[in-house]
């Protein structure tokens, strides 16, 4: 009883209140605990490639990371082609080994069946223990293979390495700081070029009134070729150096001259602030080996039949590389060109073209 002999039992009431508070608080805590979502213990992610080495190549302008126990192989030590392999050092001396290879040339057409550009190796694309992909990086096409050879887990390493591949930032200002400048007041143009190139003014005033040849000082013939003797129509080229030919007055019409070629890209462009038409002749591999630019609103003494012709470096191509003696010749059938071009040299030529400007 709470009341005894007319008095309130305060001690008993206090005990009841305390017990009720304990039970109620416990229930509230238990309820709140049940509503909290599960928080998994924090796991610190370890950077698997933090201790990898970095391979940096200034000549080809790229860098890539690779495991400490791996090594780098330059498959083309004489230059002109970016072609590097990466493998575990334990496979040194092996004929075939698992690893990664990156190149900028599909020399033997092994990527001809690879239609979709990817930058990741997928296991389901494996063929004969090798996965082949290609991708574009800064307008440069690269081809990569990941060889598994009884180590299927190496695909993860290949993908990690490929994700670190990058071209180095180019310092254009430093590269062109010592370039020369050719300026022609008569035809109102100027262009910059490397110190190992030279500008020659040619022309006999009759057949070729004015021609301006910008070419590398190679010390030998611009062309190294074998005359195939087929009605004088074809050369088998072993080497052709880069050159830019500026013809302000007496050029042939590219549309009529280039119609026989299979791989031609034609389109309007902006060249040195003027409207122009560009024709690009491509090899079967898709690289530009020759191009033409015709200015549509030419300045000063430039005639309507003008052009700037650009030949890109062709090298060590063997018997498969044949080009017409005259690209305005008429041929039976369509013309295909199978030649290797040099990516680095082409970039220099295009950089020179970017410095071309008209004076008015």
Q: Are residues 124 and 146 in the same domain?
A: yes
**pTM across the whole model:** 0.51
Query: Do 326 and 335 meet the contact criterion of CB atoms below 8 Å apart?
Result: no
226, pLDDT greater than 80: no
Local confidence band at 27 (pLDDT 50, 70, 90 cut-offs):
low
Closest CA to 94 of 157, 138, 151: 151
Q: Are residues 211 and 348 in the same domain?
A: yes
130, pLDDT greater than 90: yes
* pLDDT given at position 210: 64
Domain count, the chain: 2
Domain stop point among 129, 152, 167: 167
User: If you average pLDDT over residues 86-92, what whole number do you get?
Assistant: 94
Report which of residues 121 and 78 the model is more confident about.
121
Assigned domain for 268 exists: yes
Q: Are residues 336 and 213 in the same domain?
A: yes
Q: Are residues 188 and 326 in the same domain?
A: yes
Q: Which segment, 189-198, 240-249, 260-269, is predicted with the most confidence on average?
A: 189-198
| Domain membership of residue 89 as a residue range | 53-167
What percent of the chain has a predicted confidence (pLDDT) above 90?
Answer: 20
Closest CA to 239 of 223, 218, 226, 219: 223
Assigned domain for 281 exists: yes
Query: Can you tell me the distance from the alpha carbon of 66 to that of 53, in angstroms, rounded to the nearest whole number?
Result: 5
Q: Per the structure block, which two tokens stand in for 337?
A: 């060109």
Comparing 17-31, 256-270, 305-319, the range with the smallest average pLDDT is 17-31
Assigned domain for 124 exists: yes
SS3 195: coil
Domain stop point among 145, 167, 189: 167
Domain stop point among 167, 192, 227: 167
Q: Are residues 188 and 160 in the same domain?
A: no
> Residue 268 sits in a domain of what CATH number?
3.40.1000
* pLDDT given at position 224: 46
User: If you average pLDDT over residues 302-326, what whole number do you get?
Assistant: 74
Assigned domain for 46 exists: no
């Amino acid at each position: 009883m709470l009341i005894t002999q007319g008095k309130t039992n305060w001690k008993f009431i206090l005990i009841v209140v305390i017990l009720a508070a304990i039970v109620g608080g416990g229930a509230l805590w238990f309820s709140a605990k049940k509503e909290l979502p599960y928080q998994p213990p924090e796991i610190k992610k370890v950077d698997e490639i933090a201790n990898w080495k970095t391979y940096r190549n200034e000549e080809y302008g790229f860098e890539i990371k690779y495991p400490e126990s791996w090594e780098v192989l330059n498959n083309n030590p004489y230059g002109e082609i970016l072609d590097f392999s990466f493998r575990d050092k334990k496979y040194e001396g092996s004929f075939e080994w698992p690893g990664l290879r990156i190149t900028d040339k599909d020399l033997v057409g092994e990527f001809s069946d690879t239609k979709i550009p990817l930058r990741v190796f997928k296991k389901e694309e494996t063929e004969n223990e090798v996965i082949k992909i290609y991708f574009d990086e800064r307008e440069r096409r690269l081809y990569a293979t990941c060889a598994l050879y009884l180590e299927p887990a190496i695909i993860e390493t290949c993908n990690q390495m490929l994700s670190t591949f990058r071209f180095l930032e180019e310092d254009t200002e430093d590269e062109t700081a010592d370039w020369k400048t050719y300026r022609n007041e008569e035809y109102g143009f100027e262009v910059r070029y490397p110190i190992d190139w030279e500008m020659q003014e040619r022309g006999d005033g009759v057949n070729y009134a004015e021609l301006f040849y910008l070419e590398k000082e190679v010390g030998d013939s611009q062309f190294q070729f074998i005359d195939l003797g087929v009605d004088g129509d074809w050369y088998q080229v072993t080497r052709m150096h880069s050159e830019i030919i500026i013809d302000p007055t007496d050029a042939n019409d590219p549309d009529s001259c280039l119609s026989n070629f299979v791989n031609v890209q034609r389109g309007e462009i902006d060249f040195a602030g003027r409207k122009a038409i560009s024709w690009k002749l491509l090899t079967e591999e898709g690289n530009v080996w020759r191009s033409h630019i015709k200015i549509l609103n030419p300045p000063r003494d430039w005639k309507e039949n003008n052009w700037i012709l650009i030949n890109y470096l062709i090298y060590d191509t063997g018997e498969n590389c044949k080009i017409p003696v005259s690209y305005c010749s008429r041929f039976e059938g369509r013309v295909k060109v199978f030649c290797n071009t040099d990516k680095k040299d082409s970039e220099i030529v295009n950089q020179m073209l970017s410095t071309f400007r008209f004076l008015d």
